Amino acid sequence: MTQQARARLVLGNWKMHGSLAENELLLAALRAADTNSSSQIGVCVPFPYLAQAAQALQGSAVSWGAQDVSAHEKGAYTGEVSAAMLKDFACRWVLAGHSERRAYHGETDQTVADKARAALQSGLTPVVCVGETLNEHEAGQTLAVIRRQLTPVLALGADAVARMVLAYEPIWAIGSGRSATPEQAQDVHAAIRAELAALGTPQVQVLYGGSVKAANAASLFAMADIDGALVGGAALVAEEFLRIAAA
């Protein structure tokens, strides 16, 4: 399947940034500019701001979502947020297995797959993140790590995977200002695409994340298997984020 058959998607990951006052300006700017973009755009905001995002973006072309979800449906899981709760706020997206969740919250490959499944069960689109550390990268283990991370996710089956988005985020490129080169990213995306094709789901969007800026977005998006971006720092500045989406 050609890249043209897959829509371009640019998602912002606000991480733990924002305030009611700051968000109001950012969301208003995104809403105002959404019709000019050639990409589908969404923002993944902190849980407390979902209602604000829903209100500000409702009826616009910009969709919204969260950065994490519980693998459990409901119950005695203090501090967790279920997929059904996210659905209550009309979320479209939820990140699953961002490297910061894997690193700081002990999320295993299986946990990430369980979260993706919970998201799908509530009608959300999980954005499953994979990526290698700098050590793994330098040891030439990138593809082995990505395949290991994807194994329990792909085991959910073609019907499930067809309703996901994947994101390749090399950990050494996140927040570092040092993006993977388009060719480096494309190599990994092509390997992910081959796994998807083997499952019968080659049309799944695969985003790149890690120091994406307006200055490097176009060269990344020119790659055959890069279908968009998951943007951290640059998603906090409306003009920069919109320039990425328009790249």
Positions touching ligand PGA (CB under 6 A) are 13, 169, 174-175, 209-212, 230-234
* 98 is an active site residue: yes
% helix, strand, coil for the chain, step of 5: 50, 15, 35
Q: Which is nearer to ligand PGA, 153 or 199 (CB)?
A: 153
Q: How far is the CB of 150 from ligand PGA (least distance, A)?
A: 18
Q: What angle do CA 64, 180, 164 make, to 5 degrees?
A: 35
Q: Which is nearer to ligand PGA, 98 or 199 (CB)?
A: 98
Q: What angle do CA 11, 80, 231 make, to 5 degrees?
A: 15
Contact by Cβ (8 Å): 37, 47 = no
Q: How far is the CB of 169 from ligand PGA (least distance, A)?
A: 6
Name the residue whose CB lies closest to ligand PGA.
Answer: 232
Q: How far is the CB of 59 from ligand PGA (least distance, A)?
A: 27
Q: How far is the CB of 131 from ligand PGA (least distance, A)?
A: 9
The active-site residue out of 98, 100, 137, 195 is 98
The active-site residue out of 100, 107, 132, 169 is 169
Q: Which is nearer to ligand PGA, 96 or 231 (CB)?
A: 231
* 169 is an active site residue: yes
Q: Which is nearer to ligand PGA, 33 or 127 (CB)?
A: 127
Residues designated as active site: 98, 169
